[in-house]
C-alpha cells in the first residue's frame, strides 16, 4: 500500500536561520533559479545572421520551386536526357519549335529541347546546393542540443549548463572554477599572474569578428543578377514562332536559355564557395578554446600532483621509488636539498 508522509512533519532548523543568507546571495539565487543570470554576448549578432540567412533561403525557395516545376514539365515531355531525347519526344515539341525547325532556323531540334532541360536542371541544382550550404551554416550556429558553435557559445556564457549526452565540454561554472583554482595555486607557488579568462572564454571575446565576416558575406545577395521566376522561361520556350523575330522575341531555344540562366547561377557558385570558410572560422574558435582549456587543465594537474609527490618524498617508504626507480635527477636534487634542510 502507498506510504503517506506524516502531516505537519518539518525539519529542525537552527534558531534565527530563516532568511539569514546575505541579500546579494538571495538576489543571485533568484536570478539563477529564474534563468536571468546570464546572457550570450554574441546572441544579437548571431540572431541577425540567422535572420539574413532565412531571408536568402526564402528567396531561394521560390527559385527552386519555379525551376523544378518547369524542368519537370519538360522532363514529362520526354526531353530529360541531353542530346538523347526519347523517340516519342519529337511529337512533344511545342508548335513554335516545329515552325522554327520547318523554317530552317538553327537550334530547334529535339536535342536542343533536351539541352533546355539540362540548362534549367543546372540552375535548379546550383540553387539547391546553395540552399543546402546555407542550412548547414545556419544549423551550425543556431541548432540546439548538438555539438556546434551554438552549444559552445551557450556553455561559455552560462545560457546552457550542460552539453547533450555524448558531448564532453566544460561549462561556465567549470571554467570559472578552473581559472580561480590555477590563478590561486600559481600565486601560492610564487608564479607571476597570468590572465587565463580571455583564453578559456575566447569565443565570447573574439567570436564577433567571425560573425561579422559571415554577415558581410550574407549581405551580398546571391540573387542580385536576377531571378529565374522573372524570366518566364517555359512561357518563352513555348511561345508562338514569329518570322524574322530577333533577340528575346524569338522562340527561346537552348542557346538563349543557357545565356539567360548561366549569369543567374554564377553568384550561387561564388556564394556557396564561401560557406566552408565561415564554417572553418566558427570551428576554429571552438578548437582554439578547447586546446587552451586542456592546456590549463594539464598545468593545474601538475601543480596538484606536486603536493602528492611532496608527501611521498617525506616518507622513506615512498621516497625509495623516487630515489631508486623513476625519479629524475631534478627530483633527486630536490629530495637531497630537502633532506639537508637547504629548502623547506
Kindly write down the DSSP assignment for every residue of 301-321, as one continuous string.
HHHHHHHHHHHHHTSHHHHHH
Torsion-angle region of 83 (φ positive above 0: left; ψ -120 to 50: alpha; else: beta): left
* Angle formed at CA 140 by CA 294 and CA 136, multiple of 5 degrees: 140
| pLDDT value, residue 116 | 96
Q: How far apart are CA 114 and CA 44, in angstroms?
A: 48
Q: 47-65 as b/e, with b when 16 or more CB fall inside 10 Å?
A: eebbebbeebeebbeebbe
pTM of the model: 0.89
Q: How far apart are CA 168 and CA 174, in angstroms?
A: 12
Number of neighbours of residue 168 by Cβ within 10 angstroms: 7
> CB-based burial of residue 165 (10 Å sphere; 0-12 exposed, 13-18 middle, 19+ buried)?
exposed
* Angle formed at CA 321 by CA 316 and CA 324, multiple of 5 degrees: 100
Q: How far apart are CA 334 and CA 115, in angstroms?
A: 83
C-alpha separations of 300 from 7, 178, 191, 207, 307 in Å:
50, 8, 13, 26, 11
Number of neighbours of residue 234 by Cβ within 10 angstroms: 20
Number of neighbours of residue 175 by Cβ within 10 angstroms: 20
Q: How far apart are CA 143 and CA 203, in angstroms?
A: 17
Where exactly are the structural domains of the chain?
39-302, 314-344
Render each residue's pLDDT in the chain as its tens digit; 344 residues: 899 999 999 999 999 999 999 999 999 899 999 999 999 999 999 999 999 999 999 999 999 999 999 999 999 988 876 556 666 677 889 999 999 989 999 999 998 999 999 999 999 999 999 999 999 999 999 999 999 999 999 999 999 999 999 999 999 999 999 999 999 999 999 999 999 999 999 999 999 999 999 999 999 999 999 999 999 999 999 999 999 999 999 999 999 999 999 999 999 999 999 999 999 999 999 999 999 999 999 999 999 999 999 999 999 999 999 999 999 999 989 999 988 999 98
Residue 99 has which C-alpha cell? 515552325
Q: How far apart are CA 226 and CA 309, in angstroms?
A: 72
User: What are the E-state strand segments in 214-329?
Assistant: none
| pLDDT value, residue 28 | 87
Q: Enter the DSSP assignment of 109.
A: S
Amino acid at each position: 500500500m502507498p506510504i503517506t508522509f506524516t502531516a505537519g512533519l518539518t525539519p529542525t532548523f537552527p534558531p534565527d536561520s530563516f532568511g539569514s543568507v546575505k541579500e546579494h546571495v538571495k538576489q543571485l539565487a533568484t536570478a539563477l533559479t529564474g534563468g536571468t543570470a546570464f546572457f550570450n554576448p554574441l546572441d544579437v549578432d548571431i540572431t541577425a545572421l540567422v535572420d539574413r540567412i532565412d531571408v536568402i533561403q526564402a528567396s531561394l525557395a521560390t527559385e527552386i520551386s519555379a525551376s523544378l516545376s518547369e524542368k519537370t514539365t519538360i522532363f514529362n515531355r520526354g526531353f530529360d536526357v541531353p542530346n538523347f531525347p526519347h523517340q516519342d519526344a519529337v511529337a512533344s515539341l511545342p508548335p513554335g519549335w516545329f515552325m522554327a525547325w520547318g523554317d530552317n532556323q538553327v537550334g530547334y531540334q529535339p536535342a536542343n529541347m533536351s539541352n533546355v532541360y539540362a540548362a534549367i536542371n543546372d540552375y535548379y541544382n546550383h540553387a539547391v546546393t546553395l540552399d543546402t550550404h546555407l542550412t548547414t551554416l545556419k544549423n551550425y550556429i543556431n541548432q540546439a542540443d548538438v555539438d556546434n558553435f551554438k552549444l559552445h557559445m551557450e556553455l561559455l556564457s552560462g545560457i546552457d549548463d550542460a552539453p547533450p549526452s555524448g558531448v564532453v565540454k566544460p561549462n561556465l561554472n567549470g571554467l570559472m572554477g578552473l581559472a580561480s583554482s590555477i590563478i590561486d595555486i600559481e600565486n601560492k607557488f610564487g608564479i607571476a599572474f597570468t590572465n587565463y579568462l580571455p583564453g578559456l572564454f575566447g569565443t565570447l571575446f573574439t567570436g564577433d569578428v567571425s560573425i561579422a565576416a559571415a554577415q558581410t558575406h550574407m549581405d551580398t545577395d546571391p540573387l542580385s543578377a536576377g531571378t529565374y521566376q522573372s524570366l518566364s522561361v517555359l512561357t518563352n520556350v513555348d511561345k508562338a514562332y514569329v518570322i524574322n523575330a530577333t533577340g528575346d522575341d524569338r522562340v527561346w531555344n537552348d542557346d538563349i536559355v543557357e545565356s539567360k540562366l548561366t549569369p543567374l547561377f554564377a553568384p550561387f557558385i561564388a556564394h556557396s564557395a564561401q560557406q566552408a570558410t565561415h564554417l572553418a572560422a566558427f570551428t576554429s574558435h571552438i578548437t582554439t578554446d578547447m586546446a587552451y582549456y586542456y592546456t590549463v587543465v594539464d598545468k593545474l594537474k601538475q601543480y596538484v600532483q606536486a603536493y602528492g609527490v611532496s608527501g611521498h618524498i617525506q616518507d622513506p617508504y615512498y621516497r625509495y621509488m623516487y630515489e631508486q626507480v623513476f625519479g629524475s635527477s631534478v627530483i633527486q636534487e630536490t629530495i637531497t636539498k630537502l633532506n639537508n634542510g637547504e629548502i623547506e
